[in-house]
Amino acid sequence: MAQPQPVAAPTDAALIAAWQRGDEQAAAELVRRHARTLARFLAGAGAQEADLDDLVQDTFIRVFRSIARFRGDCQFRTWLLTIGGNVLKDAGRRAGRSKVIPLAEDFATTDGDPHAEAEAGEAADRLRDELGRLPRMQREVFLLRAQQGLDYGEIAAALGTTAGAARVHYHHAQRRLRESLT
Amino acid sequence: MKPHEIEDPKLQELARKLGAQAAERLDVERMAQAVLAGLRQPARQRTWLVWTQVAWVRAAATVVLLVGIGVVVQPRSEPVRGAWEDPPAGAVQDLSADQLTRVLDELNQPVDVTVPASEDAGLEDLSEPQLRALLQSLEG
C-alpha cells in the first residue's frame, strides 16, 4: 500500500498568485509565515511594542493592495520588510517623534547570570540608540543583513541599490555600531 | 577583505535578538484575521481618508503660503506725519548760511504769550473802585 506523499507547502509565489486570483486564505497564510519576521524587523528598526500590531497589519494591507507592483526581483519576505520600513517611517512622521522599543527585556533571559544580563541589556540599549541615529539606508541594510541574514544582492534588489553600495552601507553601519558598544 | 570589513559576530548576535521577544508575543492567527478584515474594507474608503488628510495638509500649507506672500508683498503704508514731526535731517543740512541765520533769527523772536490772570493772583493789584465793581458784579 502506497504511503500518502507529504503535501509540499505552497511557495510564496504560489500564494501570491492565489491571492491575486481572490483567494483570501492565501493572504492569511502569507501573514502567518512572515508576521513575526516583520515584527522583529520593525522592532529592530525602532518601532514601539505598543505600535507593533498596527504596523504589521498596515504593512500587510499595503503589501497585498500593491502586490501587482511586486516584480519578483527579490524574495517576497525582503519586499515585505522594505515596505514595513516605509510604513514605520510614515508612522514616525505622523507621530512626529522617533519611536524606539525598550529592548532590555529581550536580553534579560540570555543566561542566568545577572552580571551578564546587565551587560547584555546595556549593549542592547547602546545598539538601539545608535541604530536610531543611523541614516535609514544604513539601518535597513544592517538589519536586513545582520538580523535577517540576507545576502547583499537580495538587499540591493529590495532597496533599489547595488550590492556594492549595500556592502558599503553595511560596513559604515557596523563601524558606528561597534564604536557605540566599546 | 580588509580587517574593518569583517562582519562582527557579536554585533550580528545582538542584532538577531532585537525585537525577538516582541515578535514572539505577536498573535499570528489574530493578525491574519485582522489583515483579512482590513483588506475587506473598501480600498476607496481608506484611500479617501488618506486623500482627505493630504488635502487638508495641502490646504493649510496653501493658506500659510498665501499669508506669507501677503505679508511680504504688502506695500508699506506711509507714516502719518504728526504736527510736531521733526523735519528730515537733510532739510537743515541743505540750507545755506544766510537761510540758517534767518531761521535762527525767527526762532529768537520773543513770543507774545498772554497768560490769563488768575482770579486770586491780581486782587492785591486792584484799586478800591475796581474791587467794589468786582464785588458788585459777583453779587449780581
Task: Decide if B36 and A28 are in contact by the 8 Å CB cutoff.
Answer: yes
Q: Does B91 touch chain A (CB under 8 A)?
A: no
Q: A43-47, B19-23, B106-110, B111-115 — which is least confidently predicted? A: B111-115
Compute the average pLDDT of residues B67-91: 62
pLDDT higher at B48 or A171: A171
Give the best residue of A100, A103, A141 to mutate against chain B (max B CB count within 10 A).
Answer: A103
Nearest chain A Cα to B8, which residue? A174
Q: Does B78 touch chain A (CB under 8 A)?
A: no
pLDDT at position A7: 74
pLDDT at position A172: 93
Q: Are A67 and A16 in contact (CB under 8 A)?
A: yes
C-alpha cell at A156: 540591493
When the pLDDT of each residue in chain A is averaged and rounded to a whole number, the result is 85
Helices (H), chain B: 9-17, 20-24, 28-40, 43-73, 89-93, 97-107, 128-139
pLDDT at position A145: 94
Q: Are A35 and A56 in contact (CB under 8 A)?
A: yes
What percent of chain B lies above the pLDDT cut of 90? 10
Distances (CA, A) of A43 to A39, A51, A75: 6, 9, 21
CA within 13 Å, CB half, A20: 12
Return the amino acid letter for B50.
V
What percent of chain A lies above the pLDDT cut of 70? 84
Q: Does B96 touch chain A (CB under 8 A)?
A: no
Task: Decide if A40 and B36 are in contact by the 8 Å CB cutoff.
Answer: no
Rounded to a whole number of angstroms, the distance between the first and last alpha carbons of chain B is 124
* DSSP per residue, chain A: -PPPPPPPPPPHHHHHHHHHTT-HHHHHHHHHHHHHHHHHHHHHTT--HHHHHHHHHHHHHHHHHTGGG--SSS-HHHHHHHHHHHHHHHHHHHHTS------HHHHTTSSS-HHHHHHHHHHHHHHHHHHHHS-HHHHHHHIIIIIT---HHHHHHHHTS-HHHHHHHHHHHHHHHHHHH-
When the pLDDT of each residue in chain B is averaged and rounded to a whole number, the result is 72
pLDDT-derived band at A103 (thresholds 50, 70, 90) equals very low
pLDDT higher at B140 or B104: B104
pLDDT digits over A160-176, tens only? 899 999 999 999 999 99
User: Residue A173 and residue B1: Cα distance in Å, rounded?
Assistant: 17
Q: Is the ipTM reported for this complex over the cut 0.85?
A: no
pLDDT higher at A84 or B136: A84
pLDDT at B48 over 70: no
Give the best residue of B31, B44, B54 to mutate against chain A (max A CB count within 10 A).
Answer: B31
Burial status of residue A94 (CB atoms within 10 A of its CB: 0-12, 13-18, 19 or more): exposed
Compute the average pLDDT of residues A81-86: 94
Question: Apex CA B139: angle with CA B137 and CA B140, to 5°?
Answer: 65
pTM (2 d.p.): 0.61
Q: Does A43 touch chain B (CB under 8 A)?
A: yes
Q: Does B52 touch chain A (CB under 8 A)?
A: no
Task: Decide if A44 and B10 are in contact by the 8 Å CB cutoff.
Answer: no
User: Residue A113 and residue A115: Cα distance in Å, rounded?
Assistant: 5
Residues in contact with B106: Cβ distance below 8 Å, sequence separation at least 6, in sequence order: none
